[in-house]
Structure 1
Amino acid sequence: MNQSLSPSAPVARVAFLGNYMPRQCGIATFTTHLRTHFQQRFPESESFVVAVEDHPGAYDYPAEVRYTFSQENRREYAQAARYLNESGAEVVSIQHEYGIYGGESGRCLLDLVGRLTVPVVTTFHTVLEHPSATQEQVMRELAALSARVVVMSEKGRFFLEEVYGIETGKIAVIPHGIPDVAFLNPETVKPAFGLDGRKVVLTFGLISPNKGIETAIAALPAVVEKHPELMYVVLGATHPNLVREQGEAYREELIRLATELGVGNHVRFENQFVSQERLIDYLQMADVYLTPYLNQAQITSGTLAYSVGCGKAVVSTPYWHAEELLADGRGVLVPFRSETAVSAALIHLFDDPAYRQELREKAYAYSRPMVWSETVDQYRRLFSNAVPRDVASIPDALPPLKLDHLFRLTDSTGILQHARYTLPHREEGYCTDDTARALLLLSWLDADGEIVDARIPWMIDSYASFLNHAFLPQTGRFRNFMSYGREWLETTGSDDSHGRALWAVGGLLARTRRSDLRNWARDLFHRGLPVVLAMHSPRAWAFTMLGITEYLHRYPGEVEIRKTRTELGNRLCGLFRQAARPHWHWFEPVLSYDNARLPQALLCSDQPDHQELGLHTLEWLRDIQTAPEGHFRPVGSDGVFVPGQAPALFDQQPLEAAASVGAYLAAFAYSGQDLWREAAVTAFQWYLGRNDTGLCVYDEVSGGCYDGLQPGSVNLNQGAESCLSYLMARSEIRAVPFFSSVKPISHIVANGTDRALSPDHSS
């Protein structure tokens, strides 16, 4: 049962696929209980059911069943896949049993799973040691299409590895869930069933010939002779498939056998499909639970799991699940089809109450990790980690530069900050933060000359005009938020937006060929710079330092500008001295957002102590932002990271990847160490799917970028910040020879030098 799953946040939406109650079968019962307990345990998640039907329209499903399809209609499997792909589900939990899906050995299920774009976790309820060729092929293909597969026993894991060749790391062993019930004395429960004073043996489940009930009845005469107070209760409806084919002929044969053997008064047939609550009552009433199954090849038995969970003394034939669950003295195993052995085991248990009690206590203690709350905890961790990661599929060349979505968000006022899917969300207007990012990006692209696009000059004018209007000369500050109706929503923007505006204006000044824009940018930079010294935001200082570094490309000898950068760098170093602790090498007592820009600003200083601290803190941040598997994992925005606590895994933001690409490349320019260039590539590949979910965050169709990475899914909105973060990271990563198909860029700077600025762009 040991499962090595790292903790992670619950997925927001889970789809469960399989049979579902009120359909009467073991898989339907399991799916119903798994979904019910999952929803109870994690109410913050949403879950729903897609049910496969043997008789379409015959079942009155509860509200959580949102979609059904016929097991024999192959076309409906493809339709169900389309529904799941468009449902918003972040993971699909599939219950697999050969007989519940159409086609030979249930291969129609492959039509559905093969079309899913959502990660799949498949629970195998049957794992055969000697499958037919088709059964083996279906299992192999289904496992290959699944992010993870689940079995309920170590025997199942062994068969998946040895018989089906499934890799160990893909397999999880999660026990069959059981209700968490009290350990009761059966004598306190028997009166409610009219069985006080009786010794009760119970068999439960859908009645069919493979359950071995004939063997149990044949064993009773010897037991009744020794213990005439015995009552054998056979609880369960006849299997629906058997009823359709033969009616109740099989049950009538069992009744006739009991009469012929003279134990008819010692067998009670309860022909009903009972609720879980009623089943627990029956189990707690029984002294002994008996499973005389005839076939060894049963990898899972829910009824056996429930009986152990209720602390029953169990007598069972040695099918695979029983061998594992009843090992180490937790039950009694008897040979298949041996009524003599069954008789002897039952007599021993009733002759020796102390031994029976010992078995009960061992079984109950062993079952505690199997209760549903523990089981769904393991499934939740598996769901959150069930993301297909195919690192080999990550491209080793840059996607083509595509500005379509950036243009879609831009109008004559500026850039709209948010989107609903890919459509601009005009209700939330504009902001200086995003317009500054857009102006900086466009100044890079215009200078790089990678793409000739007539829209670029127009967009630069739009963004520059917005910043020009955002600046209030009387305060020396930029306003930040503007409504779609062009009304400013504040008189003073945030410190961080002010710093970003200066960075953008400095970048434009350094690279534009237009003297009119250069004169405007220089004037605005000088008017907006002084107030930064009165600010307290470390990010405002860092963004301003990056803007100053850009400014100094064109005017490297400006003394006061250099002094301001040194002063702001000294302040960042002072913050580090105040906040740093053992194992916490950072400028603040939290990690929040745009983190890598702080060390990047120090690396771009011309002061050796600034640069050394920038490299040191970036090394620490890089370690925090690297997953054990080696991919980039930024601190999620679903909370802040503070010492002594684990960082939030999600919602991971495109902003953090862009900041890290820029900082890592600054570290490479400063140190010359290839590890920083490799780290930048790894951070950029986060957009392309080398991340905790294996999902692409960049949308190559729209040219935009999704707003965040969630457990098993992306935030489908594509706002300006996300789009600009991707495009800025892509622009910067062009300098890396790893992407050999593209030429270097001209704007990676460090040490206060102009080493990366080409002569064509410096005049």
Structure 2
Amino acid sequence: MKIAYITTYPPKQCGIATYTHDLILAIAANPEIQQEVIAIIEEHDQSLYPAEVVYKIRRNELEDYNKAAEWINQNGYDFVVIEHEYGIFGGNSGMYILSFAKSIHCALVVSFHTILERPSNDENTILIELSSIAQRIIVMSSHAEHLLQKVYQINLDKVLCIPHGVPEYGIAHEEAKASINLTDRKVILTFGFLGRNKGIELVIKSLPAVVEQHPDVLYIIAGKTHPNVIAHSGEEYREYLEELVDAKELRNNVKFINNYMPINELTNLLSACDVYITPYANEAQITSGTLSYAIGAGAAVISTPYWHAKDLLAEDRGILIPFRDKKALSNNLNKLFENSALLNFYRKNAKAYGDKITWPKIGIAYFNLFKQLKNENPDSMADSGIKLIKNLPEFSLQHINRLTNNVGIIQHAKYATPNYFEGYCLDDNSRAVLLELMAYQTFDLDIKDLHFSTYLAYIFYAQNEDGKFKNFMNFQNQFIDKLGSEDAFGRTIWSLGYFFQMSPVISHYELAREMFFKAKPHFESLISNRAIAYTIMGISYYLKNNQNDEQMTEILRGLALQLAHEFEAHQTEDWQWFENIITYDNAFLPLALIHSSNYLNDPYLYKIGVKTFEFLDQLVYKNEFLSLIGNKGWYKKGMEKPNHVGQQPIDASSMTLLYHEMYIQTREDIYYTKMIHSFEWFLGRNDLKISIYDPNSKGCCDGLEEFGINRNQGAESTISFWIAYLTVYNASTTK
């Protein structure tokens, strides 16, 4: 069996790195298993890694995660084990690991070192997504199982509790004391990275009452300041602790060891201590390797009642005290030092449990897990890809309704809450009309549950006497422009044109028709390529039911030829496009030409539509998913394609429409499949492998950014999602 671990790894000094190293050594006793490491490193890490590290991922480079997945798929691994801690991976809350996990083809085991009771949206999504594709989930305590079930609604069938392993201690307590010249001292110990959340000041504040009765007490604080703390605060916390020691006159009773201790020194120190203390300041710690090591050493333990401590110290394996209660700590220390029988009682109980969780025994548990997974039917393993059409979410206008009031649809949101500061715009009200007409046509919805009359009223109010439109209105219902953009004009014609195809209310149809023809004189003066494309779509909808209108057909032809002219002016052998730059909503340009061919019967225009479609297809459809042009760096002719930053839902939606149109034109299944994949961009088939559709709000987030998701759920994004949804839904029911 061949296993790859995705983790930090020594010489990196962190708990996850140490844990993985110890685990690999424990499993190495089984010659059937080949173990290798893909190490998460920082950008300029020049450290020398041991031979088992066969590949490295720079933490903040998304492409490294994708290349690592390719490496896994090409090198015959049976299992991948992700040692998961939010902070060790790149992206918001470590989001980049999803891109890796959803791209590998072998079985996945995820070991969760942190499980939060109140996760952020990103943290919640990452844990649930990883759990859904993992064949097994490893946790280290029963409380972790409880949180998975209660907070994340994860079925425990594939969850396995394997405790944190501990070393085999080969030296007796008194012998260890003698080896470091502490035979005449009562030794208290805390070890691990220093940081404010460790609560070490509680122990120092409790010591005067202990030293008064036991002047031979020595409290050893062993460990470096955590690198993240160093980066933000330097040695402020350690200096604070040293000043506190001086203020309490405890220099003879407190010793700092300011280094990351080798395992042999650490085990010796743990064996030598009489009492071990973890005085953490809050309960939200699901795993503590330092506490596990102390139990393994047979120390009498006093701890605050954080989650792992409550699990590990149950059944008289240690003493729990309230958070920040220095009196309880000093009283219990005095009781233990005054009563050797009580001290030995806790030491004996701790040691008996520690003997059950030594690394060799943990290694056997993992070996048995891998053996079981190897024997499972591969068909029973979770599909690491994105599910297809059968897993569509249920259609809902919940978030659309949330953004809508009696004036129109609010254009932006702060998370899922309407952002009144940004007011309204013509673009979104026009899109909302189109969406609700499509929804009515698809699902035969009750008109009283729809708002297209409100959106239509906004469009009517925005139209100027000359037939053009204003665009932006503030929340005080005042237009803040006298003339909107050509793109807003085009989108409005696209939506008004749809009324000619579908309008459930005759008066709405009549108003839409009146506004359409009032705007008609401006159709042929449009300059913006996208405005032309949107207008072509609106005219095409009109002609579907008015095919004998030769004047409108010629207007359509003129607009299509205008796009064709732009293509001829800018295209080269390796640049088959309408402009020297590719920006947003690109698919609408070839879509308009291809769609208009239904009414123009012009092979030249159709050919250009297909050429530009193929160019765009090759540019954004890679490895069976969309990698769209982002708005943080458009794609300029002669330049390299920019990275994925700033991908927008509007582009995924228009690509869905474009592939759907190609499927209608050709009936080739490849375009149907690409249509599905384009829609699934919203559900996680994207560069970050994470869904931007929010099943709770029924809204869509505003895009993919460099380190994760823009969690705001504006009107454009949500409407784009549901238009793509309805396109796919209708295509699937007629296929």
TM-score range, shorter chain: 0.5 to 0.7
On the 8 A contact 1:437/1:724 being kept in 2, the answer is: yes
Match of 2:393 among 394, 399, 403: 399
Equivalent in the alignment of 2:644 = 649
Picking from 617, 621, 636, the partner of 1:622 is 617
Compared with structure 1, are the counterparts of its residues 453 and 399 closer, same or farther at alpha carbon in structure 2 (3 Å cutoff)?
farther
Answer yes or no: is the 8 Å Cα contact 1:84–1:116 preserved in 2.
Answer: no
Q: How does 1:620-699 map to 2 (within 5 A)?
A: 620-627=615-622, 629-643=623-637, 644-699=639-694
- What SS does the corresponding residue of 2:625 show, helix, strand or coil? coil
Deviation at 1:534, TM superposition (A): 2.1
Distance in structure 1 (CA, Å) of the matches to 2:427 and 2:269:
69
Question: Does the 8 A contact of 1:85 with 1:117 survive in 2?
Answer: no
* Cα root mean square deviation, aligned: 4.5
- Which residue among 393, 415, 423 is the counterpart of 2:409? 415
Distance in 1 between residues matched to 2:631 and 2:418, nearest whole Å: 23
Residue 464 of structure 1 deviates from its aligned partner by: 0.6
CA shift, 1:688, in A, is 1.8
Shift of 1:37: 6.8
User: Do the aligned partners of 1:80 and 1:112 also contact (CA within 8 Å) in 2?
Assistant: no
**Is the partner of 1:433 in helix, strand or coil?**
helix
Aligned to 1:354: none
2:390 counterpart letter in structure 1? D
- Whether the 8 Å contact between 2:424 and 2:473 is mirrored in structure 1 is yes
In structure 2, the residue matched to 1:480 is 471
- Measured in 1, the distance between the counterparts of 2:681 and 2:13 equals 30
User: 1:105, 1:135 within 8 Å by CA — same for their partners in 2?
Assistant: yes
1:487-540 per-position Cα deviation (integer Å, ceiling 9, x unaligned): 001001001000001111111132114322222222211111222322210000
Q: Distance in 2 between matches of 1:556 and 1:107?
A: 70
1:77-122 residue CA offsets vs partner (Å, 9 max, x unmatched): 9985245545769989xxxxxxxxxxx996789769978999xxxx
Q: CA deviation at 1:683?
A: 0.5
Q: Is the 8 A contact 1:480 1:490 kept in 2?
A: yes
One of 475, 482, 486 as aligned partner of 1:495 = 486
Cα deviation for residue 549 of structure 1 reads 0.4
Task: Assess if the C-alpha contact under 8 Å between 1:409 and 1:424 holds in 2.
Answer: yes
State the aligned residue count: 435
- Match of 1:594? 585
Aligned partners of 2:686 and 2:715: how far apart in 1? 22
Give me the TM-score of the superposition, normalised by structure 2.
0.52
Q: Percent identity?
A: 26
Gaps of 5+ in 2: 1-11, 24-39, 46-57, 63-84, 94-111, 128-137, 153-160, 167-257, 274-381
Shift of residue 732, structure 1, vs aligned partner: 1.2
Alignment of 1:356-505 (within 5 A): 390-394=384-388, 396-452=390-446, 454-456=448-450, 459-474=451-466, 476-505=467-496
The Cα offsets for residues 205-239 of structure 1, whole Å up to 9 and x where unpaired, read as 977695xxxxxxxxxxxxxxxxxxxxxxxxxxxx3
- Classify 1:468/1:34 alpha carbon distance in 2 versus 1 (closer, same or farther; 3 Å): same
Once the two structures are TM-superposed, the CA of residue 391 in structure 1 deviates from its matched residue by 1.2
- Gap regions ≥5 residues in structure 1: 1-15, 28-32, 53-63, 65-76, 93-103, 119-132, 139-203, 211-238, 248-387, 745-763
Distance 2:397 2:716 in 1: 14
1:296 maps to what in 2? Answer: none
- Indicate the residue corresponding to 1:261 in structure 2: none
Which of 712, 722, 735 is the equivalent residue of 2:730?
735
Q: Say if 2:412 and 2:715, in contact at 8 Å, map to a contact too.
A: yes
Give the equivalent residue in structure 2 for 1:300.
none
Judged with a 3 Å threshold, the aligned counterparts in structure 2 of structure 1 residues 572 and 17 are, in CA distance, closer, same or farther, namely: farther
**Which of residues 701, 713, 725 is equivalent to 1:706?**
701
Shift of 1:448: 2.9
Equivalent pair of 1:625/1:635 in contact (CA under 8 Å): yes
* Partners of 2:427 and 2:471 within 8 A in 1: yes
Check the 8 A contact 2:386/2:685 in 1, yes or no: no
TM-score, normalisation: structure 1: 0.50
Structure number, greater radius of gyration:
1
Aligned match of 2:499 in 502, 508, 521? 508
Check whether the contact 1:706–1:719 (CA below 8 A) recurs between aligned residues.
yes
Aligned partners of 1:546 and 1:557: how far apart in 2?
Answer: 17
Q: Work out whether residues 648 and 702 of structure 2, in 8 Å CA contact, stay in contact via their aligned partners in 1.
A: yes
User: Partner letter of residue 623 of structure 1?
Assistant: Q
Distance in structure 1 (CA, Å) of the matches to 2:569 and 2:383: 40
Contact 2:523 2:555 in 1 (8 A): no
2:3 paired residue number:
none
Please list, as runs of the form range in 1=range in 2, the aligned pairs for 1:218-229 lying within 5 A after superposition: none
Alpha-carbon contact 2:424-2:472 (below 8 Å) kept: yes
Letter paired with 2:697: S
Q: Given residue 573 of structure 2, which amino acid in structure 1 is its aligned partner?
A: P
For 1:12, the equivalent position in structure 2 comes to none
User: How far is the alpha carbon of 1:554 from its aligned partner?
Assistant: 2.2
The Cα of 1:466 is off from its aligned counterpart by 0.4
Distance in 2, Cα, partners of 1:135 & 1:79: 14
For 1:574, the equivalent position in structure 2 comes to 565
User: Counterpart amino acid of 2:464?
Assistant: L
Residues 633 and 690 of structure 1: CA distance in aligned 2, closer, same or farther (over 3 Å): same
- 8 A Cα contact 2:408 2:455, kept in partner: yes
Q: Does structure 2 retain, via aligned residues, the 8 Å contact 1:208–1:242?
A: no
Write out aligned runs for 1:547-586 (5 A). Answer: 547-586=538-577
DSSP 3-state at the match of 1:529: helix
Shift of 1:485: 0.6
Alignment partner of 1:400: what SS?
Answer: coil
Instruction: Kindly indicate whether the alpha-carbon contact (under 8 Å) linking 1:390 and 1:694 is maintained by their aligned counterparts in 2.
Output: no
TM-aligned CA distance change 1:483 to 1:135, over 3 Å: closer
Of 237, 252, 269 in structure 2, the residue corresponding to residue 243 of structure 1 is: 269
CA apart distance, 1:655: 0.6
Matched, 1:539 2:516: no
Instruction: Give a deviation string over 1:569-613, Cα, whole Å, max 9, x none.
Output: 001011111111222111111111010000010011222211121
SS at match of 2:696: coil
SS at match of 1:714: strand
- Aligned partners of 1:205 and 1:625: how far apart in 2? 50
Instruction: Report how far residue 568 of structure 1 moved.
Output: 0.7
